[in-house]
Amino acid sequence: MDNTTNFSELVDVNKIWAIGSIHSSIEAFQSIKKYILSNFEVGDKIIFLGNIIGFRKRSKEIITEVLRLRFELMAKFKLSSNNIVFLRGAQEEMFSKLLQLQIAPNPKEILDWIFSHGVDQTIISYDFDPNEFKKTASQGTIQINKLTTKLNSKIISTPGHKEFFSNLKHAAYTDTKNVLFVNRGVDISRPLSAQNDCFWWGYQSFSEINKPYFSFKRIVRGYQSNKYNDIERSKNKVLCTLFKQPLTNNKILGGIFSKNGDILDLFESK
């Protein structure tokens, strides 16, 4: 994997497959994986729009499964690593904050907040007890560092996982600059180069965007917090959201797009 830039530009595109938030729904992912392997073609690219992990106790397992699909696609279609893109979502961002908890000015408050948003389930998947983190959060920097070091070591010892977390992109776009892929949103008043963390935390009123963002006439995102998502109507809109609330929903949404942003297909897991 290559992380020389926070953005991934897709060139020589046939079709682009985009997979919305998975949130560790491994059974649903197997359905999506089967569909991808049966319909993927030479020249296609694929983007996972973040939030692969979180909310369920199979985060470790889902990363391994997603990486296995990556290897299968690379072998079968002779894809290079930059043809398969993983974006950073809020879940991956919060997990990265957990791994740096020892440098946080308020570790207990941060831990309580990220655990309330599903990160506790991710550490369970790596065989750690959330209560151990809660206890250690008030014991000072040295003890917190010992615990996060253990978690980092577990990640490093799991094939491909350290590389996965180290190479997450902030956004992706086609070389035509007609279609942009993000986890949750962008600050539409700023160019991509001036964005902060809106990609995974969202931006006020982003769901109501009704005109192109610079040259991007289509924006595809993998998560939204509100429950309204008429995905079929998105064919005539700038924004296409590949996620449906509530979070307890096990379905995974995906789409296939042309390099100019046309929606070629919309699908969901069985």
Per-residue HEC secondary structure of 63-92 comes to HHHHHHHHHHHHHHHCCCHHHEEEECCHHH
Query: Which two structure tokens, joined as six digits, stand for 134?
Result: 């809660």
- Tell the burial category of 251 from Cβ atoms under 10 Å away from its Cβ (0-12, 13-18, 19+): middle
pLDDT in tens, 231-259: 666 777 899 999 988 888 889 999 999 99
Report pTM: 0.95
Query: Which two structure tokens, joined as six digits, stand for 9?
Result: 């530009």
d(CA 8, CA 76) in angstroms, rounded, equals 22
Question: What confidence score (pLDDT) does residue 214 get?
Answer: 95
Choose the weakest-confidence range: 63-72, 173-182, 247-256: 247-256
Give the residue among 118, 120, 128, 187 at the shortest CA–CA distance from 155.
128
Query: Which two structure tokens, joined as six digits, stand for 22?
Result: 């998975």
Which domains does the chain show, CATH number per domain?
Answer: 7-87+169-268 (3.60.21.10), 92-161 (no CATH)
d(CA 182, CA 221) in angstroms, rounded, equals 5
**Residue 242 in contact with residue 48, Cβ under 8 Å?**
no
Quickly tell me which residue has 């809020």 as its tokens.
90
Other Cβ atoms less than 10 A from the Cβ of 226: the count is 8
- Phi/psi at 17 (5° precision): -90, 130
State mean pLDDT over 130-140: 96
Give the residue among 194, 233, 230, 234 at the shortest CA–CA distance from 214.
194
On the CB side of 250, how many CA atoms lie within 13 Å of its CA? 10
Contacts of residue 96, Cβ cutoff 8 Å, sequence gap at least 6: 165
The rounded mean pLDDT for the chain is 94
